[in-house]
Amino acid sequence: MTDQPVTDRPQEASAPRAQILAVQGLANRIVRGLLRTPLVSHLVGSRLVTVYVVGRKSGRHYAVPVAYTRHEGDLLVGTPFGWGRNLRTGEAVALRLKGRRRLADVRVLTEERDVVDAYGVMARDNHQFARFNKIGFDRVGNPVPGDLHLAWAAGARAFRLTPR
């Protein structure tokens, strides 16, 4: 899926800041396989979930493995990449959580304050997520506010998924 700048964000940071691996497709296939494997999925699935997305224009189906954080009874997921534009508040999305496929209700967060807050929670909980999204930490272990803002400015979105 192509990534296009989000129009209500500052133009100086329109490219995603998250790191893309040269072999991202292969890595995603391997992770999806691990998340489907019964015993392994409970270990790998403590930080990763597969979100099944349908392109709103193309109708194509995507299975996207992403990091999540449990927060206030929901799963928080964040991404700067285009697949996130296919999720809509109030619409259900299929996901695979700890080996089990189920539906989840979606709440899309796009406002700066909401995304910065969600990314802060996710970065504190999962330092690998922080590294992937180029979010540093201050001396006391809090995410650097400027890095959180830059993630939002580059098009990051956050999602609150409530599994059914």
By C-alpha distance, which of 46, 19, 7 is closest to 134?
A: 19
Q: What is the pairing mode between strands 61-67 and 92-97? A: unpaired
Task: Read off the pLDDT of residues 89-117 as tens digits, 9 standing for 90 and up.
Answer: 999 999 999 888 999 999 999 999 999 99
Question: Is 140 within the bounds of a domain?
Answer: yes
Q: How is the beta sheet containing 69-71 ordered, strand by strand?
A: 61-67, 48-54, 92-97, 100-109, 157-163, 74-79, 69-71
For residue 111, give the CATH number of its domain: 2.30.110.10
The Cα–Cα gap between 145 and 27 comes to: 30
pLDDT reported for residue 43:
65
Sequence-distant (6+) residues with CB within 8 A of 138 are: 144
Total structural domains in the chain? 1
Q: Which domain holds residue 64?
A: 21-163
Answer whether residue 56 is part of any domain: yes
Please say whether the dihedral angle defined by the alpha carbons of residues 45, 159, 16 and 113, taken in this order, is positive or negative.
negative
Task: Give a yes or no: residue 120 inside a domain.
Answer: yes
State the Cα–Cα distance between residues 20 and 151, nearest whole angstrom. 14
Q: Is residue 66 part of a domain?
A: yes
pLDDT at 49: 92
Residue 71 lies in a domain: yes
Q: What is the pTM of this model?
A: 0.78
The per-residue pLDDT for range 37-46, each reduced to its tens digit, is 766 666 666 7
Written as six digits, the tokens of 50 are 């597969």
pLDDT at position 85? 94
Residue 94 lies in a domain: yes
Low-confidence stretches of the chain (pLDDT < 50) are: 1-7, 11-13
